[in-house]
Structure 1
Amino acid sequence: MSHIRALPSYLVQRFHGWKATTYNDNKAWYRRLAANGQHPRAMVISCCDSRVHVTSIFGADEGEFFIHRNIAGLVPPHNPDGEYHGTSATIEYAVQSLGVAHIVVLGHSNCGGVKGCLDMCSGHAPELLEKTSFVGRWMDILRPGYQRISGLPPELQQPALEREAVLVSLENLMTFPFIKEAVEGDRLTLHGLWTDTGEGGLEQFDPAKGGFVPV
């Protein structure tokens, strides 16, 4: 393991600052969480983009959200083929073991993963079509969403596809038998959100209106 290096000094300094302030002021709470285990009310599936800060958006405390992040915040369809499925495993654990009451899929503006899908599907990113591209094969999940927005003017396609990423993920969640059973049994609710990272806006999908509306 000779290629492993020590943590950068700026992160070490930030850790010690957190330990001396936030942790020290709430030591009893952290110890209670550690002793009693986690009991999050909601799971949030979001993009791993560094500009999307889920806990800040909702003012969440430790132990409140079970968070999973991946490129574009996508959920693949149910596919028990015995291969590696990090996102599917996380969803299974959240619902089956933790018993979360809500799953929130959170998309965002200027998403690089969504732009990659848009470029790939429109023929402007041939490198993503290669079988060896992990990003390209992951963004194949969003192809059904691209088909729904491909007829829009070019300047409208990216924001539309960002919202389609949320809808595709919500559709795919319902292909998991344990999700479908929990939703139909009123033990779990699904929510679709999109946030504007520059303006601080938040929209939610409204089935009655068939689109996203401000919260």
Structure 2
Amino acid sequence: MDPIDSLIEGYRAFRAGTYSQNVERYRELGERDQKPKALIIACCDSRADPAMVFSADPGELFVVRNVANLVPPYEPDSHYHGTSAAIEFGVTGLNIKDIIVMGHARCGGIRALYESGQGNPPGGEFVSGWMSLANGVAEKIRKTHKNVPPEKIVRMMEMRSVISSLEQLRTFPFVREREASGELRLHGWFYGIASGVLSIYDPATDEFKDVPDAV
């Protein structure tokens, strides 16, 4: 089936199933302001959909997706800042209390960052510049893990870039102030696409710890 036709068929299935079974819920969502539980900064990778991973209903998550779930620094200038605008709106406009940076395994953006360090920069006009936000993470890992196999290096980059994004969030005054006052919490999570396992960053140990399955 043609990809576009398959999407239209998916829409029809949604209308006949999920929507028709929850009409009042959708009408309520359309008539009131949104009140999401959390802001999730995730990668635009098609295999790592936060709503699917967390079994979230419409209206529960305010999701910001970009290449490699990166957060740029606070730079209030006249340039275009899509991710920063979404963070600002989520925190100051929607008064969200939790921000989650969700990284994932086999991230194409992080792989491009690794390859750039090997002398193979990606083609195109935008990916390389965007991924330079994580150059510091990549360089530190390369220097401290010189004899580690490439796949392990990439995994470390994927995970440490989550922590770097948390640090970048704190360059935003409205994030830093709310976190300091206890009004806002920041979380670093990592999702294994093949394993389906979610790991949560523990700042006390500087490690990601797997979330156990329910008994």
Same fold (TM over 0.5): yes
How far does the alpha carbon of each residue in 1:76-102 deviate from its partner, in whole angstroms, 9 at most, with x for none? Answer: 011112100000000000001001110
In the alignment, what sits opposite 1:24? 20
Structure 1 Cα separation of the partners of residues 57 and 81 of structure 2: 28
Q: Say whether residues 1:14 and 2:10 are aligned partners.
A: yes
2:184 to 184, 188, 197: 188
Partner of 1:115: 111
What is the aligned counterpart of 2:173 among 177, 185, 188?
177
**Aligned match for 2:85, one of 80, 83, 89:** 89
1:4 aligned partner: none
The CA distance in 2 between the partners of 1:116 and 1:68, in whole Å, is 21
Match of 1:52 among 36, 48, 53: 48
Counterpart residue identity of residue 81, structure 1: D
Kindly indicate whether residue 74 of structure 2 is the aligned counterpart of residue 78 of structure 1. Answer: yes
Say if 1:76 and 1:88, in contact at 8 Å, map to a contact too. Answer: yes
How big is the shift at 1:14?
1.3
Closer, same or farther: CA 133–154 of 1 in aligned 2, 3 Å: farther
Match for residue 68 of structure 1 among 56, 64, 73: 64
Matches of 1:122 and 1:145, distance apart in 2:
15
**Distance between the aligned counterparts of 1:210 and 1:111, measured in 2?**
21
Asked if structure 2 preserves the Cα contact closer than 8 Å seen for 1:77 and 1:175, the reply is yes
Shift of 1:173: 0.2
Name structure 1 gaps, 5 residues minimum.
1-6
**Identical-pair percentage:** 38
Query: In the alignment, which of 149, 161, 168 is matched to residue 154 of structure 1?
Result: 149
Quote the RMSD (CA, aligned, Å).
Answer: 1.3
Residue ranges of structure 2 left out of the alignment (5+ in a row): none
Q: TM-score, normalised by structure 1?
A: 0.92
| 4+ aligned runs moved over 3 Å, structure 1 | none
Say which SS state the counterpart of residue 150 (structure 1) adopts. Answer: helix
Cα-to-partner distance string for 1:124-179 (whole Å, 9 max, x where unaligned): 22x55xxx720000000001111221032133210000001101110100000000
- SS state of the match for residue 163, structure 1? helix
For 1:95 and 1:188, the matched residues in 2 are separated by 8
Q: TM-score, normalised by structure 2?
A: 0.92
Q: Greater shift after overlay, 204-213 or 105-114?
A: 204-213
SS at match of 1:33: helix
1:104-134 CA distance string (max 9 Å, x none): 0000001000000111123222x55xxx720
Question: Is contact 1:121–1:143 with CA below 8 Å preserved after alignment?
Answer: no
Counterpart of 1:3 in structure 2 is none
Distance in 1 (alpha carbons) for counterparts of 2:188 and 2:118: 26
* Aligned residue identity for 1:137: G
